[in-house]
Structure 1
């Protein structure tokens, strides 16, 4: 396995693992068993996000929003990651493209996402999030 495909494997695992964290953190019945520091650890310094609405958020705003959203969903909340694929990459940086599908409150939504990762020996999967851009493919139904 080349270093670049290994980087894609680590970044892909991070995408899937972080969304599992979100489900556990947001679902009321599971939230008490989740370690929030896992999330803070993988959000790299200088992290930024463009939300599906177009709003630009810095690292602190994203961390605060996720922290404040603990236990806000019922057991029906689900996230699946689809069509994950590599974009541009170097030896220590990669862009990963994926679709995030959610079921929340009985409403489906889908977002096309692109995320920039850099290597980090202290992160669980060896990469940290540097930038995330999400665009609505399917806005939550009505």
Structure 2
């Protein structure tokens, strides 16, 4: 992977680790997410709902999970890349309340030197997949 794709992959892993800490109540400061999200971020949820940056941050602030909540990320690979952006594929697996769910995600990242991993999330599309 190129340095930009590696930064985006690191961002996916680190942000989801942050979500585990935040949702379980171990760390409720959302500045890390705010810094990683482009002002123009758009997300399409697995249910097909579209959300902008403010809606996503609001939903994250309200999210709660039991202490055994887990997220694992795997199968990360770049789909396409330009000098300043990378489109990344990854699989997200969540364990919540005794149930496991999986989704395939495609995310567009743009280079942003001031962001936690040097990239910001610009677009995210998630689709449920069978467990």
The alignment yields a C-alpha RMSD, in angstroms, of: 1.2
1:127 aligns with 2:84: no
Partner Cα separation in structure 2 for residue 43 and residue 106 of structure 1: 30
Partner Cα separation in structure 2 for residue 138 and residue 66 of structure 1: 24
TM-score (norm. length: structure 1) = 0.89
Describe the superposition over 1:18-62 as per-residue Cα deviations: whole angstroms up to 9, x where unpaired.
00010000013x13xx43101011110110000000001111110
Partner Cα separation in structure 1 for residue 97 and residue 68 of structure 2: 7
Q: In the alignment, which residue of structure 2 is the partner of 1:13?
A: 10
In the TM superposition, structure 1's runs of 4+ consecutive aligned residues that sit over 2 Å from their partners are none
Describe the superposition over 1:50-109 as per-residue Cα deviations: whole angstroms up to 9, x where unpaired.
00000011111101100121xx21111000001000111101100010000000001000
Q: In the alignment, which residue of structure 1 is the partner of 2:31?
A: 37
Q: Tell me the number of residue pairs that the alignment of Structure 1 and Structure 2 aligns.
A: 131
Runs of 5+ unmatched residues, structure 1: none
Q: In the alignment, which residue of structure 1 is the partner of 2:87?
A: 95
TM-score (norm. length: structure 2) = 0.96
CA drift at 1:138: 3.0
Alignment of 1:98-109 (within 5 A): 98-109=90-101
Runs of 5+ unmatched residues, structure 2: none
Q: Secondary structure in 1 aligned to 2:56? A: helix
Partner Cα separation in structure 1 for residue 30 and residue 56 of structure 2: 13
Which protein is bigger by CA-based radius of gyration?
1
